[in-house]
Amino acid sequence: MLARCSGGALTGLEAVEVSVEVDIAPGLPGLLMVGLADAAVQESRERVRAALRNSGWRTPLTRVIVNLAPADLRKEGPAFDLPIALAVLMASGQLQPERMRAVWSAGELGLDGSLRPIRGAMALALAARRSGARALVVPQANGAEAALVEGLPIWSAESLSQVLALLADPSQAAPQRQRPRPRPRGPALDLADVRGQLHGRRALEIAAAGAHHLLLVGPPGSGKTMLARRLPGLLPPLSRDEALELSQLYSVAGLLERDGGLLQQRPFRAPHHGCSSAALVGGGSVPRPGELALAHHGVLFLDELGEFRRDVLNQLRQPLEEGEIWISRARQRQRFPCAASLVAATNPCPCGWFGDPGRPCRCSTSMRERYWGKLSGPLLDRIDLQVVVRRLDAEDLGRSYRTANGSCGTDSSGSEGNGSESSAVVAGRVAKARRRMQHRNPDGVANSQLTGAGLRRLGQIETEALQLWQQAMQQRGLSARSAERVLRVARTIADLGDQDSVDATAIAEALSFRSFDQCRRAGG
């Protein structure tokens, strides 16, 4: 007898329907699996047999053929255990087909019939809803996650026996409690904690407003990491669609917290410089999103940029530009979104102290040149903002502490300009500038995405500003690419200033964010 039920296979961020067909035919006992199944799916033969037996069901004593269709799609992972077990029960007359009509299922079976969580329950729920399914059966641990997709009943269970009880009487299915959406917390890491560093703080604000990538150059302890970690808190809160997409991505990666509800915070990912290209851009025999995709809608922080392998960094180029990454496997290509802001940090030279007033640099000119040569690779081409940060002196740092008699906390110059503006205040300006940018740019693309023609069309630039820009190009020998970066940044500066046209002040400020180039020229 032939039986059929529905499951799903993950293809990047999405899932597609897989029809699980089981035929019980005369012949020697055994379970044969066809339809491009990987090792974990092949192993489900043993798990399914044991789970059925240990849950008190009959396993057929003849030949059982399991086909996973479409045959040209690679099926991975243990999530097919449950639909296979249910199809075997149907084919052997132990489960009425009517009960499985338009019901999708997914779950890994333990030998005792218990159900273990799977990756990508959200993507499966979306695919099931699209196909008009009546319900999706998932392991208990995936219930809350699947229920983030509205409009599809989710039946979650802890074991195969519970699944069969639910199928017999769906009214038993406990409604998945949608956890109240946690109110987005204010940023835990506030810009108010950063003393001084006006240039670095301003760069963060511009990066947040125009979605520009940022390079921080400075000696150890100058606050590069401290600044970078405060960028997510300056970005606008995630919209509902962004939160859903991000949660779906983490669900596919198997990183969504159990019962954690929708992700509300923009991610901050800081991979170690020794990481492999698969860890950074994604991959593996079962393609999974890498750090770049996990930073989607948030920040990817590459600390010690010069220590990353060049070939690994090279792979970031195209995805960073396109906002999506394709991972190719033998038979298919999987797509993951990765619209992340890049913040890179580096020491100014191998010893770390070049340009520091307090400590001499021990590197020779040729050492520095080599170091900079390595840095100025292809990735630096994509970075609009460069900032050289200096270490604060003891006096500056001391001001961030309150003394026992309650003094301090402000600059000797008073509260003006002490750089202790909070993230909330800066985020307010960023939100306003972003609205302006989205209103003006076609398809609401960020200023960082504008290139030649787009910049010319959109950026009204004042005559004086144009002259200053041309002058800087000549005097500093800026390449066309660098000059374009200056214009993009100036456009964002004008947006932050609520101005329609780019004036000379905006150009001058934008030019100040090429300081690593300047520093190199001075010391090279």
Ligand X SMILES: Nc1ncnc2c1ncn2[C@@H]1O[C@H](COP(=O)(O)OP(=O)(O)O)[C@@H](O)[C@H]1O
Site residues (vs ligand X, CB under 6 A): 194-197, 218, 220-226, 392, 397, 400
Q: Which stretch binds Mg ion (CB under 5 A): 218-226, 278-286, 369-377, 498-506?
A: 218-226
Nearer to ligand X by Cβ, of 69 and 397: the residue is 397
Query: Which of ligand X, Mg ion, none does residue 194 bind (CB under 5 to 8 Å by kind)?
Result: ligand X
Q: How far is the CB of 376 from ligand X (least distance, A)?
A: 20
Q: How far is the CB of 38 from ligand X (least distance, A)?
A: 42
Nearer to Mg ion by Cβ, of 94 and 225: the residue is 225
- And the tokens for 248? 């779906």
Q: Applying CB under 5 A, does 273 fall inside the site for Mg ion?
A: no
Query: Which of ligand X, Mg ion, none does residue 218 bind (CB under 5 to 8 Å by kind)?
Result: ligand X
Give 144's contacts (C-beta < 8 A, 6+ positions apart). 176, 177, 178, 179, 258, 259, 260, 261
Nearer to ligand X by Cβ, of 78 and 218: the residue is 218
State how far the Cα of 175 lies from the Cα of 1, in Å rounded to an integer. 34
Q: How far is the CB of 303 from Mg ion (least distance, A)?
A: 5
Query: What is the number of the residue whose Cβ is closest to ligand X?
Result: 223
Q: Quick one: 40 exposed, middle or buried, by C-beta within 10 A (0-12, 13-18, 19+)? A: middle
Nearer to ligand X by Cβ, of 103 and 191: the residue is 191
Q: How far is the CB of 224 from ligand X (least distance, A)?
A: 3
DSSP line for 419-464: S---HHHHHHHHHHHHHHHHHHSGGG--GGG--HHHHHHH-EE-HH
Kindly tell me which residue out of 59, 94, 176, 225 binds Mg ion, with binding defined by CB under 5 A.
225
End-to-end CA distance of the chain: 79
Q: How far is the CB of 224 from Mg ion (least distance, A)?
A: 5
Query: What is the number of the residue whose Cβ is closest to Mg ion?
Result: 225
Helix ranges restricted to H, 66-221: 81-91, 121-130, 143-146, 160-168, 198-210
How many Cβ atoms sit within 10 Å of the Cβ of residue 141?
17
Opening angle at CA 26, ends 21 and 32, nearest 5: 45
Query: Which of Mg ion, ligand X, none does residue 139 bind (CB under 5 to 8 Å by kind)?
Result: none
- And the tokens for 432? 């306003």
Nearer to Mg ion by Cβ, of 390 and 434: the residue is 390
State how far the Cα of 331 lies from the Cα of 45, in Å rounded to an integer. 24
Q: How far is the CB of 222 from ligand X (least distance, A)?
A: 4
Positive or negative: CA dihedral 270, 273, 278, 279: negative
Residues that bind Mg ion (CB under 5 A): 225
